[in-house]
Amino acid sequence: GAGVSQTPSNKVTEKGKYVELRCDPISGHTALYWYRQSLGQGPEFLIYFQGTGAADDSGLPNDRFFAVRPEGSVSTLKIQRTERGDSAVYLCASSLNPQVNTGELFFGEGSRLTVL
Amino acid sequence: DQQVKQNSPSLSVQEGRISILNCDYTNSMFDYFLWYKKYPAEGPTFLISISSIKDKNEDGRFTVFLNKSAKHLSLHIVPSQPGDSAVYFCAASASSGAGSYQLTFGKGTKLSVIP
């Protein structure tokens, strides 16, 4: 497809398990972002990639969260030892230009994570 | 500490009337503002934006107004249509540093347009 693709769309896991969420950005978009939307909240910034490197990971809540983008395209968000508070919709977005005032962010449909 | 605030969780409007969605911000570094629309089970989609050098931007039925002194912006939809029913997020960014690529979102306002 032409849009940002995220898999899985839904993931239910048990507390303490490991989870991976995948994002396939729009072809040619060098900038990739992960946001997290908890219930009743707006999306919150987690991490930004420019190419293969994480240019800013200041939004990751703790060291249980990690993200990679080894070839500058697909990205994987990894969550270790999941906790119930990690339950949220994880949104991925991509753009041609990282400056939000010059380029539109295109969001995927999100991966809904539920930790029991 | 909410830097972008949308104080109305929901709004109901009759079809054909005007919808006004409000947003306040506290960070003086914000100089670019956006509205995103979100349908259930979909990602947010960009609707309209405004730079702090302007006080109004119009795109079809959608107009965004910015009052910098009050740190307030609003989205007007005229006339409202049932297909406009969605959650609307206000977002802000700064043109330098981390703010140039990070968006700070409000909690959203759920708009219901009644036929």
pLDDT of residue B96: 76
In a 3-state reduction of DSSP, which class is residue B30? coil
Q: In terms of CA atoms, which chain B residue is nearest residue A49? A: B101
pLDDT digits 0-9 by tens, B26-55: 999 999 999 999 999 899 999 999 999 999
Interface of B with A in 66-95 (CB under 8 A): 89, 91, 93, 95
Percentage, residues of chain A above pLDDT 90: 82
Strands (E), A14-110: 19-24, 31-37, 44-50, 53-56, 65-68, 75-79, 88-95, 106-107
pLDDT of residue A103: 64
Helix, strand and coil in chain B, % to nearest 5: 5, 50, 40
Name chain B contacts of A107, Cβ cutoff 8 Å: 36, 43-45
pLDDT digits 0-9 by tens, A13-33: 999 999 999 999 999 999 999
Whole-number Cα distances in Å, A84 to A25, A37, B64: 28, 14, 38
Kindly determine whether residue B102 and residue A105, on different chains, have CB atoms separated by under 8 Å. Answer: no
What distance in Å separates the CA atoms of residue B39 and residue B27, rounded to the nearest whole number? Answer: 28
